[in-house]
Amino acid sequence: MNSLKTRTLMLLAVLGLAATFSFAALLRAEGTALTDKDLSSISASASTDEITAKGDPGAEFTGTVRDVTVSDSAKGLTLADLVNQAGQNKIAINFVWTLVTGFLVMFMQAGFALVETGLIRAKNANHTMMMNFMVYGLGLFAYYVCGFAIQMGGCAPIANLGGVYPLNHEQVVTLFGKPWGLFGTKGFFLHGATYDVGIMVLFLFQMVFMDTTTTIVTGSCAERWKYSAFCVSTIGLGALIYPLFGNWAWGCGWLSQLGVNFGLGHGYCDFAGSGVVHAVGGITACAVAMIIGPRIGKFNRNGSPNVIPGHNIVLVLAGCFILAFGWFGFNPGSTLGASGNGCLRIGSIAVNTMLAGCTGSFGALLYMWIRYGKPDASMAGNGLLAGLVAITAPSGFVNPLAAAVIGWIAGILVCLAVEFFDRVPKIDDPVGAISVHGVNGLWGVLSVGLFADGRSNYGGSWNGVAGSVKGLFYGDAGQLVAQLIGIATLLGAIFALSFLWNWLVDVVVGQRCNPKAELAGLDLPEMGAFCYPDFQLKTTESTIYASSGSSMALKD
Amino acid sequence: MRLIGILVIVGGWLIAISGLFVTNSNGVRAIIACAGIAVTIFGILKVLNGYYLERAIWKK
Domain-embedded: residue B60: no
Nearest 5°: CA angle at A491, between A490 and A495?
A: 90
At residue A319, does pLDDT exceed 60? yes
pLDDT at position B47 is: 96
User: What residues have CB less than 8 Å from A437, skipping those under 6 apart?
Assistant: A216, A278, A279, A281, A282, A285, A389
The gap from C-alpha A102 to its chain's centroid, in whole angstroms, comes to 8
Percent of chain A with pLDDT over 70: 90
- Domains of chain B: total: 1
What mean pLDDT do residues A277-283 have?
A: 97
Residue A384: CA count within 13 A, CB half-sphere: 21
Contact B53 A425 (CB under 8 A): yes
pLDDT at position A22 is: 55
Start-end of H helices in A338-476: 346-372, 377-392, 400-423, 433, 440-451
User: What residues have CB less than 8 Å from A439, skipping those under 6 apart?
Assistant: A282, A413, A414, A417
- CA distance linking residue A241 with residue A283, whole number of Å: 11
Tens digits of residue pLDDT in A517-553 = 999 999 999 999 899 888 766 665 444 444 333 333 3
What mean pLDDT do residues A63-75 have?
A: 88
DSSP characters over A364-402: HHHHHHHHHSS--HHHHHHHHHHHHHHHHTTTTTS-HHH
At residue A40, does pLDDT exceed 90? no
In 3D, which of B1, B49, B46 has the Cα closest to residue A293? B49
Tens digits of residue pLDDT in A446-467 = 999 999 999 998 988 999 999 9
Task: Tell me how many residue pairs between chain A and chain B have CB atoms under 8 A apart.
Answer: 98
Domain-embedded: residue B40: yes
Percent of chain A with pLDDT over 90: 78
Where in the sequence is the domain holding B22, given as residue range(s)? 2-53
pLDDT at position A553 is: 38
Q: Which of B9, B17, B45 sits opposite A496 (nearest CB)?
A: B9
Q: Which of A426, A489, A493 sits opposite B53 (nearest CB)?
A: A426
DSSP characters over A517-531: HHHH-SIIIIISS-S
Tens digits of residue pLDDT in A203-257 = 999 999 999 999 999 999 999 999 999 999 999 999 999 999 999 999 999 999 9
At residue B51, does pLDDT exceed 80? yes
pLDDT at position A45 is: 76
Among A302, A422, A428, A484, pick the best mutation site for testing chain B contact (most B Cβ within 10 A): A484
- CA distance linking residue A237 with residue A127, whole number of Å: 20
pLDDT at position A537 is: 67
Domain-embedded: residue B28: yes
Distance from CA of A476 to the nearest CA of B (A): 9
Domain-embedded: residue B59: no
In 3D, which of A226, A297, A278, A221 has the Cα closest to residue A436? A278
- CA distance linking residue A218 with residue A225, whole number of Å: 8
Nearest CA in chain B to A291: B52
pLDDT at position A404 is: 98
At residue A23, does pLDDT exceed 70? no
Domains of chain A: 88-511 (1.10.3430.10), 513-556 (no CATH)
- CA distance linking residue A425 with residue A208, whole number of Å: 32
Domain-embedded: residue B58: no
What mean pLDDT do residues A402-430 have?
A: 97
pLDDT at position A209 is: 97
- CA distance linking residue A552 with residue A145, whole number of Å: 41
Domain-embedded: residue B14: yes
What mean pLDDT do residues A407-420 have?
A: 97
At residue A27, does pLDDT exceed 80? no
